[in-house]
Structure formats: C-alpha cells, structure tokens
Structure 1
C-alpha cells in the first residue's frame, strides 16, 4: 500500500512538472529592451536587419541600372554641346582673275578686228555685229585690267587699259595713247573662276554681254608728302651718301660684294646678271634732323634715304632710277640694312587730285548691227 502511495505521488509530481514546462513554452518571450547609446540613437536587431536589406536592394539597383546610365552618357557625349555654335564655313569670295583675263583678250581682239573679220569676236561675244573700221587699223600694243567689280553674282564689270596704236592707209603707225574700255562679263563655274557654282568641278565659261564701251581715264593724283625733308644733293663728303653710292653700284653693276656695304644679316642680293655698267648718284634726300652728316652718329642710329641715280646699261644708254634705303650706324660707319619696298611718306599723308589733263581723242568705235528683234 505504501508502494502504491509512492507511485501516485510520483505521478502527480511528473504531471505538475509537465504543466509547468508547457506554460513556460507557451508564454511569449519578451523582446529585450533596445539598447540606447549616449547619443540618443536606438538600435535593435530588427532595425539593423531592415537597414541591411535596404542597402542590399540599393546596391542591386545600381548594378542593374549601370548599362542604362552608360548608354545615356554615350548619347550625351556624342551630341552637340548645348550653347556651342556649330562652325560655319564661310563661302569663298568670287575671284575676278578669270573674268578679267577674258575681258583683256576680248578688248585686244575687238581693237584688231574690223569689217569682214567680225567672226573673230565670236569666242567672246555672240551678238550680231557689223564693224565699219578696216581690220588691223588699231592694235593694242599693251593692255592690262585696272578695275573689276562684281555687279551681281557671276556678272562682272571689267575695265581694261590699252595702249592703242593706229595705222593710216600708207601703213604709217601713230600712237593714240592709253585708252580705257569697260566690258560686261558673265561667268559660269565655281567661285574661283568668278562664277556661282557650289561644286569645284563645275564647268567654267565666260561671255561678254556687249561690245566694249570706251570710258574716261581714272583720276590722276599727286602723291602725298614724303618723309625725306633734308636734301643732301650728291655730296661725296657725306658718309651716308658714300655708303649709298657704293651699295647701289655693287647692287646694279656688280662691281663689288654687297657685304662691304650692308648690315650683318641683311637679306639683300645683287641683281644678276648685272644690268648696268656704271651708276651715278644725282640726288639724295633723307630724314635726318641735323643739318649735316659729316660724322657718323652713335651705333644703332637709323637713317632713311631716297636716292636718285643714272645707271648706264650695256649699250651705253642711261636709265634714271630711284631707291629707298634704310641705313643703320655701326662701329663708326653707315651700313645698308634694307632696300625698302616703297619710299616713306609722312604720317597721315594722303594724295590729292592732280591738275586736269585733256584725254587723248578716242579711237574709232564700232556700232553693233540691230538685232532681229529690234527691226
């Protein structure tokens, strides 16, 4: 009986232990209080886990969008930058060389042509023309273009100066002097040929729109004042004049080396072969402020000269020439540093109108025959 009682007591204890275990398992565990640091920020395992997931998602998003950003950057770099103007190629200006040369040939052919030889003008002017002058009566011994203007794209006004000589019935020549003829020329082809075509391979052609018109000579001018105010004559005692004389004799006649008279490094070469056998200085002007140049001034002093010479050629004939020289002093002597491109003029010096000269009477003009449409 005692044994049965002990068994019942042991069973009750076991049942009690099982009930207590079940209660502990079923009771929800309390979430540990979040640790708070001194800064006031609160962290927890759940909170950190959420942040980690967000960071991971953001990283994958960046990886996935990388190719898209690359394509956008490539497209942006290949397009024109905002605010930067595209370079514009300026159109080349039309050249007057072709129309001018054509007009010069036309005027020469026009002066030479006459009654019965009108067909000689066909390459230049296709209009119907009847000339009344005898062929060969007039000749342009020299001609040159002195003015050109593009009236409209591809259409030019060209003025030709011609030195005209005429012959009478006895074939006696008489110089009529320089006469001026204006011609209208149409051009086809690219701008380099005077035309309007945009392609450089476009065919080039020219045509006169009428016979030449004789016009007045351009106004003659008196040049402005030169910068050489001191007249030295042709004194042989002036060291600067002596240098100029020796230099021009070597330059024109080849009697000695130029190095004797030029500054170190001066790029001056004598004319070869020498066109003259002797040179004589007939006048010297310079821009020196002192009254005389008997003594060479300090090194580096610059002097500008205008030299007039008579040079004798191989046949013994003299030729009058003028040279503008720049001299520089060195080691107690004058040396030529350059042969100037043109005589020096005073600052703000401008040419003025020359006295009127009555032009030479014009040559016989030709009259074109009426066109069929005007009859």
Structure 2
C-alpha cells in the first residue's frame, strides 16, 4: 500500500501589475544582513567623522599659531653679523673725529655725516681740539637699524700761538696775537667721551649706508670695578731647582726672543707661533704664582695640569726692559713640564653662591 505525502501547493505568482506585499518588499531590500536604511546611516556617520577630523586639524593648527610666544625676536630684525655693528662703529669714529676737528667754515664737512649740520654756525679755528686717538668703548642697538656708539677721544692740548719776534721788535706798541684775555694755563692731554647716534639702511646698490641722527653728545666715561679674584696663589720668586721655571724660561726665550726651538717645549696638539721678527733679545723671569701646591724640586705624575701666572721683564735691543705677564697652563709628560696653552686671560675664581636668608 502506497503512502502518498501531501506536497505543499505552490502559491500563484503575482500577476503583472500587482504590487508585492509588505513582507515581500522588506525581504527583497535585505542584503547580507544589512538593510539599505542601515547603510545610509553608516554612510552619514562616516561623512560626519571625516568632517570632524578635518575641522579638528584646522582648529589645532590655528591654536598652535595663536599660542606661539609673541615676544620671540624675529630674525628679520637681527643685523647680519659683521655688517651693521662694525659699520656703525667705524662711521661714528670718523664722524666724531671730524666733529672735534671742525671749526668756523667746516659746516659742510660735518654735513657729510649729519645733514643737519649745514645750518649750524661753528666757532673757533679748525684743529682747536686735536684727537690723537679714538676708540669705541660702547656699542648698542636701540632699534631696528639704530645704533648708539660711544667714542672715547684722547685730545691733545691746543698748540700755543707762535709769536713773530721780527714783527714784535719793529713795532713794540702793536698788540700781539689775540690769545684771549682770560686764557689760563695750557691744558694737558685729556680723554673725553662722545655718544653718537647712527642710523643704517640698505642702499639701492645692495650696500649698507649710514647717517648720523644728531650731533654727538658728550657723556661720562665708563666706571671701573674691582678686579676679580684669581685662582693663583701668592707670587713667588723663581728658583733654579724648580723644573717649571726651566720650562717657562726656555719657552718664553723662544717665543719672544727667537732663542731656541719653540715646539720642543709644547705639549702634544698644542700649536703656537713665535713672534717674528723677535721684539726682544732676552727674557728674565721675575715671579710666578700657581693655582695650587706643587713640588718645586720634582715633577708630578704624567697628566698633572697646573695653571700659572708668570711675570717677566723682556729686554729690547736698546737695553730697555718692559714688564709683561703671561697666563700659562702646564702639563706633565714623560717626567717633565710642558706648555699646554697660552691662556687668553688669568683664570678668575668662581664667585661664591649667595647665602640663603
């Protein structure tokens, strides 16, 4: 006996023009577990995230520029090394020299440095003040392209008027040269200081031009301070048994007087050139001060370093002597002292730290 299974009756296909049911429409729009509505939401979310990242980058860059320190000096206002400062100093020195020499009728000479001098009325004869030496003692920049230069001038006293004896003998009643009724004793040599304002700017040809902004102003000279304490001890007279003395004497004789081989007394990798032509014929060591205790009769172990302040008297060809002082650094090697360096200045002792209240 056959058992017949009941087959499901297929649903009739929708006729053309009939709209699908709601469930069939939803199933047809489902793709891989994501509905088109979810896809739209995801696309919108990604778009907003991208815009947020772009805006965040812009805000971050803007915040960095706004929080940058505003007191940082701009490199555009810094003068090129070796141009503005040196040029202003040289210009001020020439201007100060012409200013001190100028007399009646020299307004045009000054106008070459300071145009406003063309309207001046100078008095006195030219050369009444004669600078024998000028040097810059202070140089500072007060603004972009503006320099304040202080020039020290060593002035010679004015020359006394020359009287013509022949003319005076012929007419004793005629008055002599007008030296001034209140002329006092002749002045001695003096050093005076003048502050010169100088402006600099680039020229059309690419060079730097300078001009004085006003007449010089006479100012007080720089003050002096106490000399700093050095690391050296009390100066001692040289002893022939001291091996340091032998090295220093031989070194200075070769360096100043051309006596001996200079390299023989130098430490390895130390390079010095003797003075040529030799200005002295002999060198006498008068005293030396060391920065620490040392055995005056022996040589410490190799690698020992010591700084010394050495005083000498160098004898010239005419027999006169000149006192000189040298700051030297010595180092031991192979059982002897050698010159490690000719120091630029004596070594100063570090200043003590301020005590706490």
Structure 1 length as normaliser, TM-score?
A: 0.65
| Conservation of the 8 A alpha-carbon contact between 1:100 and 1:148 | yes
Q: 2:267 aligns with which of 258, 263, 273?
A: 263
Question: Which residue, 89, 93, 102 being the options, matches 2:78?
Answer: 93
Give the deviation of 1:129 after TM superposition: 2.3
Residue in structure 2 matching 1:120, options 105, 109, 113: 109
Check if 1:207 corresponds to 2:212.
yes
Cα distance change of structure 1 residues 103 and 89 upon mapping to structure 2, 3 Å threshold: closer
Provide the residue aligned with 2:286 in structure 1: 282
Shift of 1:222: 3.0
1:1-375 residue pairs with structure 2 within 5 A?
Answer: 27-28=10-11, 51=31, 82=61, 90-91=74-75, 92-94=77-79, 95-125=84-114, 126-127=116-117, 128-170=119-161, 176-183=189-196, 185-189=197-201, 204-210=209-215, 212-290=216-294, 292-348=295-351
Higher-Rg structure is 1
Q: Are residues 251 and 202 of structure 1, via their aligned partners in 2, closer, same or farther at CA, if it must alter by over 3 Å?
A: closer
Is the Cα contact below 8 Å between 2:253 and 2:283 reproduced in 1? Answer: yes
Residues 1:79 and 1:252: Cα distance change in structure 2 (over 3 Å): farther
Contact 1:251 1:269 in 2 (8 A): yes
Q: CA deviation at 1:106?
A: 1.2
Tell me the CA shift for residue 174 of structure 1. 7.3
The range that moved more, 239-248 or 169-178, is 169-178
Cα deviation for residue 24 of structure 1 reads 7.6
Mapped to 2, the partners of 1:302 and 1:273 lie a distance apart of 31
Q: Which sits farther off after the overlay, 172-181 or 312-321? A: 172-181
Tell me by how many angstroms 1:161 deviates: 0.3
Partners of 1:248 and 1:272 in 2: CA distance = 13
- Measured after TM superposition, the shift of residue 302 of structure 1 is 1.4
Could you report, residue by residue, the CA deviation over 1:70-94 in whole angstroms, capped at 9, with x for unpaired residues? Answer: x99xx99x98974655998823435
Shift of 1:202: 8.5
Task: Name whichever of 168-177 and 297-306 sits farther off.
Answer: 168-177
**Deviation readout 1:253-305 (Å, 9 max, x if unpaired):** 22222222111122323223333222111221112225x51111122221111
* Count of paired positions: 299
* Contact 1:151–1:157 (8 Å) recurs in 2: yes
Closer/same/farther in 2, CA of residues 338 and 186 from structure 1, 3 Å limit: closer
The answer for unaligned runs of 5 or more in structure 2 is 1-5, 13-26, 40-46, 164-185, 353-357
Shift of residue 240, structure 1, vs aligned partner = 0.8
Alpha-carbon distance change, 296 to 107 in structure 1, aligned in 2, over 3 angstroms = same
Q: State the distance in 1 between where 2:86 and 2:10 align.
A: 111
Distance (whole Å) between structure 2 residues aligned to residue 234 and residue 203 of structure 1: 55
Question: CA 1:25/1:110 → structure 2, altered by over 3 Å: closer, same or farther?
Answer: closer
Shift of 1:336: 0.9
Cα distance in 2 between the residues matched to 1:149 and 1:89: 16
Give the drift of 1:250: 1.1
Given that 2:146 and 2:200 are in contact with CA atoms closer than 8 Å, whether structure 1 keeps it comes out as no
CA–CA distance in 1 between the matches of 2:238 and 2:342?
Answer: 19
Structure 1 residues 166 and 301, CA gap change in structure 2 (3 angstroms): same
In 2, are the aligned partners of 1:189 and 1:200 still within 8 Å (CA)? no
Write the distance in 1 (CA, Å) between the matches of 2:299 and 2:349. 25
- Per-residue CA deviations over 1:221-271 (Å, capped at 9, x if unaligned) read 331222111322132221111111111111112222222211112232322
Per the normalisation by structure 2, the TM-score is 0.67
Query: What is the CA–CA distance in structure 2 between the aligned matches of 1:283 and 1:264, rounded to whole Å?
Result: 26
Structure 1: 5+ residue stretches without partners:
1-22, 30-46, 60-67, 194-198, 350-375
Contact 2:314 2:321 in 1 (8 A): yes
